[in-house]
Structure 1
């Protein structure tokens, strides 16, 4: 009977990498299932903010209102503002999953660290818009700085 050759080095490396992946997945899953929330990054002081409400009107047109004044500050045409529409579609889906309508406002806020954040006041859901690049951030920035009549 011939002696069996030991595992080649590549098998040991593959096994080690596999073990690291398995332990990583198990560790992350156990943290998520335990309810652990990583600490929020400090943003510094709130510099400016605005409560917004989005309303689907007709044929894909969306009106954006300043909640405090009740004034319509923007109209999002169907073929325009795709970034805003995409973010809002995602936020609306999260609300729909919890049987919450679009009446509660969204908070658009600029912080001292430069971050521009859209927060859902109905659920703890927020998007740091800076992560999507200057052009996309500017589309929301326009809603923050628009003057109300």
Structure 2
């Protein structure tokens, strides 16, 4: 084969080789579970909570077990509002109302998660930093939280 013919095919060879390599690496990662985050901690405490809009743009947090008000967040808690907005959007998309409770869980490995059992939405709260995580951590213990 002439060198000019090889050079004209070189881009095709590179593209096909790159796609093939990506395919092999993807299958290898899937077979070995490389990159999969393992959930290693055990539950330390959990609490079922409901969040509702309150007067003047506040967010009212109640314990799903007894209906007691746990906390009322006013306008300064943008992280709480933003987190709940995302969860509410998923509920609306699936036709779920605001009545079912969310599950806030503290894990032995230091993680703090907020789950929506209705939509299977899962948020690793510690990923947003300690200042934002502490807001939700307080909800676990406020007003005699259950363990």
Q: TM-score, normalised by structure 1?
A: 0.74
Question: Paired residues, what number?
Answer: 136
Report SS of the residue matched to 2:83: helix
Aligned with 1:43 (options 29, 40, 43): 40
* C-alpha RMSD over aligned residues: 3.2
- Give the whole-Å Cα distance in 1 for the aligned partners of 2:39 and 2:60: 32
Report SS of the residue matched to 2:88: helix
- Give the whole-Å Cα distance in 1 for the aligned partners of 2:4 and 2:13: 19
The question of whether the paired residues in 2 share the 8 Å contact of 1:44 and 1:112 is answered with yes
Structure 2: 5+ residue runs without aligned partners?
none
- Give the whole-Å Cα distance in 2 for the aligned partners of 1:120 and 1:60: 22
In structure 1, the partner of 2:83 is 87
In structure 2, the partner of 1:125 is 121
Report SS of the residue matched to 1:109: strand
Trace 1:1-149 onto structure 2 (pairs within 5 A): 4=4, 6-7=6-7, 11=11, 15=15, 18-19=18-19, 23=23, 41-78=38-75, 80-148=76-144
The question of whether the paired residues in 2 share the 8 Å contact of 1:118 and 1:126 is answered with yes
In structure 2, the partner of 1:35 is none
State the 1:61 CA deviation.
1.5
Q: TM-score, normalised by structure 2?
A: 0.75
More divergent stretch after superposition (113-122 vs 40-49): 40-49
CA deviation string 1:73-110 (max 9, x = no partner): 111112x1111111110000000001101100001010
Report SS of the residue matched to 1:7: helix
> Where is the helix percentage greater, Structure 1 or Structure 2?
2
